[in-house]
Amino acid sequence: MSDSYDELPLAQIENKSRFSLIWIIPLVALFVGGWLVYKVYSEKGDIVILTFNSAEGIEIKKTPVRYKDVTVGKVIDIQLDHNLEKVQIKVEIEPFMASHLGPETRFWTVRPRVSVQGISGLSTLLSGIYIGMDPGMDGKAKTVYEGLDTPPRVTSYTHGSTFILQADKLGSLDVGSPVYYRQINVGEVIKYELNNDNDTVGISVFVKEPYNKIVRKNSLFWNISGLDVELSASGGVKARMESLTSLLIGGVTFETPQTLSRSSVVDDDVVFPLYANKEAAKEKYIGEQLFYVMYFDESLRGLSIGAPVEYRGIPIGKIEDIQLKIEEINDEIKIPVLISIYAEKLSLDGDVDDATSIIKHLVEKGIRGQLTTSNLLTGAQFISLVYPEDSTTNPGIIKARSESGLAYQELPTTSGLTSMLAQSATEIISEIHGGIKDARKLISSPEIQSSTKDIALILENVSDLLKDIKPDIVASMDSLSGTLKNADAISGKFNQQAMPLAKQLNSTLKRLDGALAEAQKTLASADTVLNEDSGLQYELRLLIEEVSEAANSFTVLANTLQRKPNSVIFGK
């Protein structure tokens, strides 16, 4: 038996592998699950909250967030805040866009809008309302953003520069009002707000590339809103309208004056003053001013503050002030006229000392200030610097004056053309009146009375001679000869008395002819301005036609909208 057990084979014990193929299935499932979890979390965007006044048209999981018409997120929840004043819209931003969220990121709703600036958002009539996004500058993202009520006029992908204009009042300007350069639309107003001093308004304007490079340190901005009709101090009528758009919603224009030294380009957010009109802007650019005082003997009716001071038709200054002053010593009434002369007009580089020397030299050569009528209809006057006929023999000097505690230099003056015409007319009338008086004295003089009696006696003698002509013709002829001698003596006496009167009347008529010639020149000048072929008449007619066409266009638009309100969207 023992042998039989010995012949039996021995069992071989081996260590089996602990890994089983059955484990492959759960491991693959775990890997796939982990990858899906990673993919979900890795593709999950940032959650931000937007606050709006209303959630009109916005729907959960339907309203997208778009940037340049590319969907970059979606609305996932809508709630009210704890005060029930705002709507909190929770949106999920795609990961590739979440990295571009920053402190200046802006959100707004895009829907159909009709305003004076134009029509926008018409595509949403078919696609539905969506939320627009502008990333802004890079930086730390916020969790809550305040949504805008209206789309921003300028976004981060619009290239250009922003400048700030300081004005006393906003006027007709509004967000979207255009900015012009040489009547080309180069930008628009993007924002306005009351400054901290509560006395001025800060207006932010955006100028697109490449026009933003035109704006330099010496650039001038002024308001062109509406229709500007002005009766200038010199008596002219000015009417300006930049465009129909600026007439409706206002506008701003700017200009960079050409100078010998080129000014440098400015950076963003540089502050410029906004002037009321082009004249005010140009006046500020003129630079330093020299102040003088003038005294005139004639009437200052029609002379107003702001009226120009001209030399050969070129404005070189203006009237700053007119006052009535009584001298304490002799109670004499004087009217000092304070004028300013622009140094830039006299000196190439605007040097004050150089301009002062030039004025002194001109005065020494005989230049004078003279009142000149600029408009016969309104009687407006201005001051012109002229050389009178006696200026070479009577050179002028600049005197020192003190007005109201301020020291000014006095420039010499001369009588104006209006004053000389009035004086000539007065002298002519006086001479005519004197001539009539002399004629009356001559007629009523004893000599004329005696001569009249002699003439009557002569006529009586002639009558007697005619009666007695037949009896004694020779005696009558002798008597007639004596009578004729008498008449000749009387005629000589009359001529002797009337000769001075005739000379005086001849001189008076010559003066009257001179005055009439000057009046004809003045009327010819007025006719040049007021006739139908003048430039002023042409500009006024052109302006009236443009305003009339604009009014007709608005009438047609109003009638169309009244009949077909949907024509704004679908056309006629």
Please state the φ and ψ torsions of residue 403, each to the nearest 5 degrees.
-115, 120
Q: Which residues of 126-145 are buried (b: 16+ CB within 10 A; e: fewer)?
A: eeebbbbbbbbeeeebeeeb
- For residue 551, what pLDDT is reported? 60
- In DSSP terms, 110 is beta-bridged to 130
Dist. CA 226–CA 223, nearest whole Å = 9
State the CB neighbour count (10 A cutoff) for residue 533. Answer: 7
Where is average pLDDT lowest: 155-164, 423-432, 541-550? 423-432
pLDDT of residue 553: 64
pLDDT digit string, tens, across residues 354-389: 888 988 888 888 889 999 888 777 788 999 999 887
* % of the chain with per-residue pLDDT over 70: 58
Q: Give the C-alpha separation, 475 to 527, whole Å.
A: 72
Mean pLDDT of the chain: 75
Residue 422: name the closest of 319, 297, 530 by CA: 297
- Closest residue by Cα to residue 429 from 338, 526, 508: 508
Is the confidence at residue 78, as pLDDT, over 90? yes
Greater model confidence, 117 or 97: 97
State the amino acid at position 329 in one-letter form: I
Of the candidates 375, 387, 369, 390, the one whose C-alpha atom is nearest the C-alpha of residue 316 is 369
For residue 210, whether the previous peptide bond is cis, meaning omega lies within 30 degrees of 0, is yes
Q: Of 3-17, 64-78, 180-194, 209-223, which range is least confident?
A: 3-17
Distance CA 349, CA 354 (A): 9
Distance CA(27)–CA(153), nearest Å, equals: 56
Q: What is the pLDDT of residue 473?
A: 47
What count of Cα atoms within 13 Å lies in the side-chain half-sphere of residue 361?
7
Strands, E assignment, 81-215? 87-93, 106-110, 113-115, 118-120, 130-134, 144-146, 160-167, 178-181, 184-194, 201-208
What is the average pLDDT across 434-441?
A: 60
- 208-234: average pLDDT: 79
Residue 13 is classified by DSSP as P
For residue 141, give the nearest of 182, 95, 195 by alpha carbon.
95
For residue 224, give both structure tokens.
């062109």
**pLDDT band at 9; cut points 50, 70, 90:** confident
Q: Long-range contacts: 69-72, Cβ < 8 Å, 24+?
A: 72/96, 72/97, 72/133
CB 76 within 8 A of CB 58: no
Q: How confident is the model over 319-346, as pLDDT tens digits?
A: 988 888 776 667 777 788 999 888 878 8
Q: Which residues partner with 132 through β-bridges?
A: 66, 108
Q: pLDDT higher for 289 or 406?
A: 289
Query: Is residue 137 very low, low, confident or very high in pLDDT (cuts 50, 70, 90)?
Result: confident
Q: Give the residue with greater pLDDT, 271 vs 249.
A: 271
Q: Find the distance separating the first CA and the last CA of the chain, reported in whole Å.
A: 120
How high is the pLDDT of residue 157?
80
- Residue 236 pLDDT > 70: no
What integer pLDDT is reported at residue 343 of this predicted model?
A: 84
Q: What is the pTM of this model?
A: 0.48
Mean pLDDT throughout 221-245?
A: 65
pLDDT of residue 494: 47
The predicted model gives 49-77 an average pLDDT of 93
Structure confidence at residue 96 as a pLDDT band (50, 70, 90): confident
Give the closest residue to 316 by CA, choosing from 336, 288, 293: 288
Can you give the pLDDT at residue 480?
46
388 close to 369: Cβ distance less than 8 angstroms? no
Indicate the residue type of 513.
Answer: D
Burial class (CB in 10 A: 0-12, 13-18, 19+), 96: exposed
Using CA atoms, how far apart are residues 172 and 191, in angstroms rounded to an integer?
14
In angstroms, the CA 544 to CA 538 distance is: 10
Could you give the angle at the alpha carbon of 283 between the alpha carbons of 279 and 289, nearest 5°? 155
Nearest 5°: phi and psi at 100?
-100, 0
Share of the chain above pLDDT 90, in %: 19
What burial class does residue 346 get, using C-beta atoms within 10 Å of its C-beta: 0-12 exposed, 13-18 middle, 19+ buried? buried
CB–CB of 300/323 below 8 Å? no
According to the model, what pLDDT value does residue 301 have? Answer: 85
- pLDDT tens per residue, range 540-558: 666 667 656 666 665 666 6
3-state helix vs strand vs coil in the chain, percent to 5 = 35, 30, 35
Ranked by mean pLDDT, the top range of 89-103, 426-440, 443-457 is 89-103
- Kindly tell me if the per-residue pLDDT of 243 is higher than 90: no
pLDDT average, residue stretch 76-91: 93
Q: How confident is the model at residue 33 (pLDDT cuts 50, 70, 90)?
A: confident
Q: Average pLDDT, stretch 98-111?
A: 91
Residue 438 is predicted with a pLDDT of 62
Would you state the pLDDT for residue 11?
A: 66
- pLDDT computed for residue 188 by the predictor: 92
Taking only the tens place, the pLDDT of each residue in 506-527 is 665 566 566 556 555 655 555 5
pLDDT at 1 over 60: no
CA distance readout (Å), 416 to 295, 306, 366, 390, 485? 12, 19, 15, 14, 56
The more confidently predicted of residues 470 and 41 is 41
Is 105 or 7 the better-scoring residue by pLDDT? 105
Task: Examine the pLDDT at 65 and tell me if it is beyond 90.
Answer: yes
Question: How many helical (H) and strand (E) elements, i.e. helices and strands, does the chain have?
Answer: 13, 29
- For 196, other C-beta atoms within 10 Å of its C-beta total 8
Distance CA 322, CA 381 (A): 13
Mean pLDDT across the stretch 530-546?
A: 60
CA–CA distance, 163 with 199 (Å, rounded to integer): 19
- Yes or no: say if 104 and 136 are a contact pair by the CB < 8 Å rule: yes
**Alpha-carbon dihedral angle through residues 503, 508, 509, 515, given to the nearest 10 degrees:** 160
Please, what's the largest Cα pairwise distance for the chain? 236
Which helix or strand (DSSP H or E) is residue 174 part of?
Answer: none
Say if residues 257 and 193 touch (Cβ distance below 8 Å).
no
What angle, 0 to 180 degrees and rounded to 10, lies between the N-to-C axes of helices 473-530 and 446-467?
A: 130
Question: Nearest Cα to 234, choosing from 361, 129, 375?
Answer: 375
The pLDDT tens digits for 497-511 are 545 545 655 665 566
Shortest CA distance to 105 belongs to which of 80, 73, 128, 81? 73
* pLDDT band, residue 279 (cuts 50/70/90): confident
